[in-house]
Copies of this chain bind each other. A is one copy, B any other.
Amino acid sequence: MKQVNYPKREEWNDLFLRPVQEQEELGNTIRQVFRTIAQDGDAGVLKYTQQYDYPEAKVISTVSLADAGNKLSDELKNAIQLAQNNISKFHSTQIEHPIKLDTMPGVTCWRESRPIDRIGIYIPGGSAPLFSTVLMLAIPAQLAGCRDVILCTPPDRNGNIDPAILYAAYITGVSKVFAIGGAQAIAAMAIGTSTISRVDKIFGPGNQYVTAAKTYAQQLGIAIDMPAGPSEVLIIADKHANPAFVAADLLSQAEHGADSQAILLSDSKDTIDNVLSELSIQLSLLPRKAIAQQALQNSRAILLSNLDECIDFSNGYAPEHLIIATENAEELADKVNNAGSVFIGKYSCESAGDYASGTNHTLPTNGYARNYSGVSVDSFLKKITFQRITAEGIFNIGPAIETLAAAEGLIAHKEAVTIRLNALNNIKK
């Protein structure tokens, strides 16, 4: 980790920068994939699947979910169920109940939620079978009442999908799992094929091709969860923090990927020194040491004058995960403006939120915490406004509407009120 001591405020903007992401020109590749899927449907998907994932693939078919649990240990199934319970409980608090309000007598307005009909979830393949992400996306979809939730994930070279992914899909009501991956899976969900039905919104992480394909899918009227970038954590630690805990949290971020970033802020030089020495001890023991080491090259330990300055810095950086490991952690948490998810106090490790405490782990990265929220039940809903105006209501509000519409020069808008007021006045006479 690079150490920076007492940077001036005018130098902060440079410290807010994330590792530069390679901006390869993927546009042509992605357009070609979408063209192929639009023209060839399932055959196009199959061609890419044979090329990139499972050479022996014969058809695009759904994967049976029912017996996935048989391949898991009871310990793992119990842990998944504990996580499912906590995630369900927490996300249930996000369900909104309509409040009907008379803004004037006879003018009643309210808002109701309706599920987005068809959801597509993408789960990447690769070294880690991210069944936890299945829970984080399918549980709120289920709570929202989405009619159909499908999942795409690439098969390995033998055509298999990790049974934990299938089990998580099974217990969270996913209707179908397709063993397909990459940009072709995103294109299939965005366009639809004979086997795969078109969805309304696509969720889930992925590599640069998947991310570019999700962005492209937006041009076809598909919504996506949020802009994607590498994962990151910012930890604020004071002299009361446990250096070994802080080092472990930095490493659990760093092992995600070489492009991950971990930032340590402290008002204590000793704390930084102690964390860094713990870090090198713990790093040496990790199986994903090589990845974590690369990520730590993008990472910084920054000494600042006081904890308020640490919070100011954190709000400027807008971290995906913010851990506050200080004595007055609650008080500092009140001052957080920009963050995806906040972990308060020394026992609140990021792993808890990543897996099982109940909060969602699909969070805004790359500074998007300034203007985006993480995934929640809201992400699977539309909120529709309703109004009901009575005869009394239109008498109360009508004249103001006539004035406003006329001032905007929209006379048909005015007339829609006038014709109703005239009709009511004629009845009265």
* Chain A interface (Cβ < 8 Å from any Cβ of B): 75-76, 78-80, 82-83, 85-86, 89-90, 93-94, 96, 99, 101, 103-104, 107, 109-111, 114-117, 127-132, 164, 200-201, 218, 221-223, 227, 242, 244-245, 248-249, 251-252, 254-256, 282, 285-288, 292, 329-330, 333, 336-360, 364, 366-374, 376, 378, 381-391, 393-394, 397, 399-401, 403-405, 407-417, 419-420, 423
Would B405 and A355 count as touching, CB distance under 8 A?
A: yes
Query: Is there contact, CB below 8 Å, between B111 and A416?
Result: no
A179 and B111 CA atoms in complex are apart in Å by: 35
Minimal beta-carbon separation of A336 from chain B (angstroms): 7
A169–B159 Cα gap in the complex (Å)? 60
In the complex, the answer to whether A410 meets B94 with C-beta atoms within 8 Å is: no
A417 to B94, CA, bound (A): 28
Q: How many copies, total?
A: 2
Cα A14 to Cα B340 with chains together (Å)? 42
CB atoms of A288 and B412 under 8 A apart: yes
Cβ contacts under 8 Å, A114 to chain B: 336-338
* A409 and B127 contacting across the interface, CB-CB below 8 Å: yes
A407 touching B288 in the complex, CB below 8 Å, given contacts A89-B101, A348-B387, A371-B116: no
**How far, in angstroms, from A353 to B300 measured CA to CA in the complex?**
51
Q: Chain A at the B interface: mostly helix, strand, loop or mixed?
A: mixed
CB–CB B416/A349 < 8 A? yes
Known contacts being A400-B83, A408-B132, is A393 close to B93, with CB within 8 Å? no
Residue pair A417, B371 in contact (C-beta under 8 Å) = no
Q: Which of A114, A254, A343 has the largest number of chain B CB atoms within 10 A?
A: A114
How long is the Cα–Cα vector from A393 to B356 in the complex, in angstroms?
A: 12
Given contacts A104-B86, A129-B407, A412-B251, contact A382 B390 (CB under 8 A): no
Please pick, from B221, B248, B336, B368, the residue contacting A416 in the complex, using a CB distance under 8 A.
Answer: B248
| Residues on the B chain within 8 Å of A411, using CB | 255, 286-288
Alpha-carbon distance A242/B416, docked complex (angstroms): 12
Tell which of A111, A117, A376 has the most Cβ of chain B within 10 Å: A111
A299 shortest CB reach to chain B, Å: 14
- With A386-B342, A393-B347, A415-B252 in contact, do A404 and B107 touch (Cβ < 8 Å)? no
Q: Is the CB of A378 within 8 A of B378?
A: yes
In the bound assembly, the distance between CA atoms of A222 and B366 in angstroms comes to: 12
Complex Cα distance A86/B107, Å?
Answer: 10
B80/A394 in contact, CB under 8 A: no
